[in-house]
Amino acid sequence: MASSDALLPVIFRRKPSDSIADNLIMESRRRQPIKVHRAVILLLIALYVALIVIHNGSASKNIGSNGTTTKSHAHLAGVSEKRNFRKTEPFAWNNTMLSWQRTAFHFQPEKNWMNDPNGPLFYKGLYHFFYQYNPNGDVWGDIAWGHAVSMDLIHWLHLPLVMVPDQWYDANGVWTGSATLLDDGSIVMLYTGSTDNFVQVQNLAYPEDLSDPLLLKWTKFSGNPVLVPPPGIGAKDFRDPTTAWETLGGKWRITIGSKVNRTGISIVYDTTDFKTYEKLDNSLHQVPDTGMWECIDFYPVSKTEIIGLGTSVNGPDVKHILKASMDDTRTDHYAIGTYYDSNGTWIPDDPNSDVGKSTSLRYDYGKFYASKTFYDQNKKRRILWGWIGESDSEAADVQKGWSSVQGIPRTVALDMKTGKNLVQWPVEEVESLRLSSKKFEMKVKPETVVQVNVSSTAQLDIEAEFEINKEDLEKIARDESVEAEDDFSCETSGGSTVSGSLGPFGFSVLTDENLSEQTTVYFYVTKGKDSKLKTFFCTDTLRSTMATDVVRSVYGSFVPVLEGEKLTMRILVDHSIVEGFGQGGRTCITSRVYPTEAIYGAAKLFLFNNALNATIMASFEVWQMNGAFIRPYSADDLVLHH
């Protein structure tokens, strides 16, 4: 655990005007210190542009092997799925590398494709988790509902599929839906069906036997569909019903995602029996130029206590969160606002950061989509599930035989201190997987990287506090020659090898000894024109793998740091997933990474400080994490049956 000059990365001074393309070029110099030929620069720029197009998912098109453009199954069905289709030379993945990518404590089916979380609920002592699943393949298609149960949200037993596409009204897929627990103890599930004609309709299903804690058998209502696209709404733009909440008038209310031209909207219906519905005149909310809203979630949060609230709670101490998954960008945006029961509308506190705007808040600035919360009446908390897709190629998914994981379930609550954002934190049960731990106190000088001496690094939980040396901080604040960085953003920064006065500093996980593969999770503090400091929490996956057929990005955003607070982060590493929680979960970043060399015993952990002018004091604890038991349910598990 000694500072090692041999490990020092080459650091680039950040010029505020640097474009990403410039930074990528600089990055190429770092890796290959020989003279860079102009053609290589052009190639890198072209590659970068291609990556942006692919990453933004600007078109769900599949470039066929003959170079022609074909449409994916999902696109034909009017829904989007994995988008990093492209014609790149596939990397020669071998089984050793691919087996390492499977996670140890994140929820995954045994094989095949998985996407959105569906209908999570707590019932008779068990957490139920349903999910979009392809029983027949490793890519999106033939969507049915997978099902698993758990007593603690960490260890899971896989159960048989609960719903498959076997009716005309869901022949092209049993798509996303939500559960509602009724006051009499019964459960209703509303889900979207893609009909035999690809029309998106809403269907009702319910458990056959409420005395079965496993809820093994589900019945689809004989009168399905219960809702079809209303006039003015496209047949393929009407999906993902929410959990219902009760109105003051004693009805149940739901909202469903849609779009009208480029305006994302949430259509609202009232019902008393979940079979017949009355459409409200107003939408709950709508935002121009945000495109299709998928997987809307709508729930109350307490302004006064860090507890979860049942979905029907309202009152003066309550704010309401509206979340929508932006189909265009595959990102989950939320805003805090006020809900009006009388007409079923919601108004954001800050119209400038309305749902889906580029300035709006996101649950997670990395790979995290189609999320859904539920109220856990067992522990009085609200829990957030999010689908973590792959950033590798579809060919690699097929080769490894599975695709996607679910993020560690997070408790979600209003940030009492700022009142302006949510805080998300891994459910406390994940701590039961913590094995041995080591504590470290380190003073890290500028431009230094230090290996952290822990035995293995593929399954970690890290909690860390950082302090920038006060004198350095004051000096930078006073120093007029330090350029203002008002334009800083993680995404366009060039990543963690591009240095400023006060950052970046943090951890490099899944890193080989030569730092040729590394995923960094870090803070970057900027000084603005007004001399005020602003902190960003970022993850850089640009160097996470030598493989060429993987989407690599710099993710992240501003993170609020209040007077007197130290900078804190938590990182969960579980093979191909890295989840970062900045400042107690005010800003979160999930990434999927696919190292080729930094795997098994060759994966190391480093602490780095690439700041040019600031010494960092880091105090942190690193836990080795056990694997969770995630396996098929068997008769031996009948003990659950009581």
**Catalytic residue list contains 270:** no
SS3 181: strand
323-382 binders of ligand DQQ (CB under 6 A): 370
Residue 637 CB, nearest distance to ligand DQQ (Å)? Answer: 29
Q: How far apart are CA 21 and CA 47, in angstroms?
A: 10
Size of the site for ligand DQQ (CB under 6 A): 13
Residue 85 CB, nearest distance to ligand DQQ (Å)? Answer: 16
Residue 84 CB, nearest distance to ligand DQQ (Å)? Answer: 15
Q: Which is nearer to ligand DQQ, 181 or 256 (CB)?
A: 256
- Report residue 466 as tokens: 């950082």
Q: Which is nearer to ligand DQQ, 238 or 488 (CB)?
A: 238
29-88 binders of ligand DQQ (CB under 6 A): 79
Q: Is 342 exposed, middle or buried (0-12, 13-18, 19+ CB in 10 A)?
A: exposed
Q: Which is nearer to ligand DQQ, 387 or 488 (CB)?
A: 387
Q: Are 435 and 623 in contact (CB under 8 A)?
A: yes
Exactly one of 132, 134, 404, 587 binds ligand DQQ (CB under 6 A); that residue is: 132
SS3 421: coil
Q: Which is nearer to ligand DQQ, 178 or 624 (CB)?
A: 178
Residue 218 contacts ligand DQQ per CB under 6 A: no
Exactly one of 23, 62, 72, 176 binds ligand DQQ (CB under 6 A); that residue is: 176
Residue 138 contacts ligand DQQ per CB under 6 A: no
The amino acid sitting at 527 is K
Question: Quick one: how far is CA 336 from the chain centroid?
Answer: 19
Q: Which is nearer to ligand DQQ, 157 or 205 (CB)?
A: 205
234-293 binders of ligand DQQ (CB under 6 A): 239-240
Whose CA is closest to 614, among 455, 467, 417? 467
Residue 428 CB, nearest distance to ligand DQQ (Å)? Answer: 28
Using N-to-C axis directions, what is the helix angle for 38-56 and 20-31, rounded to 10°? Answer: 120
Phi–psi pair at 74, nearest 5 degrees:
-65, -40
Residue 156 CB, nearest distance to ligand DQQ (Å)? Answer: 21
Exactly one of 27, 142, 294, 394 binds ligand DQQ (CB under 6 A); that residue is: 294
461-490 binders of ligand DQQ (CB under 6 A): none
| Residue position matching structure tokens 């069905």 | 77
Exactly one of 72, 115, 266, 411 binds ligand DQQ (CB under 6 A); that residue is: 115
Q: How far apart are CA 636 and CA 173, in angstroms?
A: 33
Residue 335 CB, nearest distance to ligand DQQ (Å)? Answer: 20
Residue 143 contacts ligand DQQ per CB under 6 A: yes
- Report residue 160 as tokens: 């048989």
Residue 116 contacts ligand DQQ per CB under 6 A: yes
Q: Residues 386-425 vs ligand DQQ: string with x where CB under 6 A?
A: ----------------------------------------
Residue 114 CB, nearest distance to ligand DQQ (Å)? Answer: 10
Exactly one of 23, 134, 180, 192 binds ligand DQQ (CB under 6 A); that residue is: 192
Measured in residues, the chain has a length of: 642
| Residue position matching structure tokens 């366009």 | 492
Q: How far apart are CA 374 and CA 243, in angstroms?
A: 8
Whose CA is closest to 398, among 20, 137, 91? 137
Whose CA is closest to 575, among 133, 19, 96? 96
Q: Which is nearer to ligand DQQ, 46 or 59 (CB)?
A: 59
615-634 binders of ligand DQQ (CB under 6 A): none
- Sorted by sequence, the CB contacts under 8 Å of residue 494 that are 6+ apart come out as 12, 14, 18, 20, 22, 23, 24, 26, 27, 554
Q: Are 331 and 311 in contact (CB under 8 A)?
A: no
Residue 142 contacts ligand DQQ per CB under 6 A: no
Q: Which is nearer to ligand DQQ, 24 or 296 (CB)?
A: 296
Q: Are 608 and 450 in contact (CB under 8 A)?
A: yes
Q: Which is nearer to ligand DQQ, 134 or 541 (CB)?
A: 134
Q: Rg of the chain over CA atoms, in angstroms?
A: 24
Q: Which is nearer to ligand DQQ, 176 or 406 (CB)?
A: 176
495-524 binders of ligand DQQ (CB under 6 A): none
Q: How far apart are CA 158 and CA 128, in angstroms?
A: 10
The three-state (H, E, C) secondary structure of 308-359, written as one string: ECCCCCCCCCEEEEEEEEECCCCEEEEEEEEEECCCCEEEECCHHHCCCCCC
- Sorted by sequence, the CB contacts under 8 Å of residue 479 that are 6+ apart come out as none
The amino acid sitting at 510 is L
Residue 292 CB, nearest distance to ligand DQQ (Å)? Answer: 8
Residue from 5, 18, 22, 116 carrying the catalytic annotation = 116
Residue 298 CB, nearest distance to ligand DQQ (Å)? Answer: 16
Q: Which is nearer to ligand DQQ, 145 or 507 (CB)?
A: 145
Residue 308 CB, nearest distance to ligand DQQ (Å)? Answer: 24
Exactly one of 295, 413, 572, 614 binds ligand DQQ (CB under 6 A); that residue is: 295
Residues at the site binding ligand DQQ, with contacts judged by CB under 6 A: 79, 115-116, 132, 143, 175-176, 192, 239-240, 294-295, 370
Active site (catalytic) residues: 116
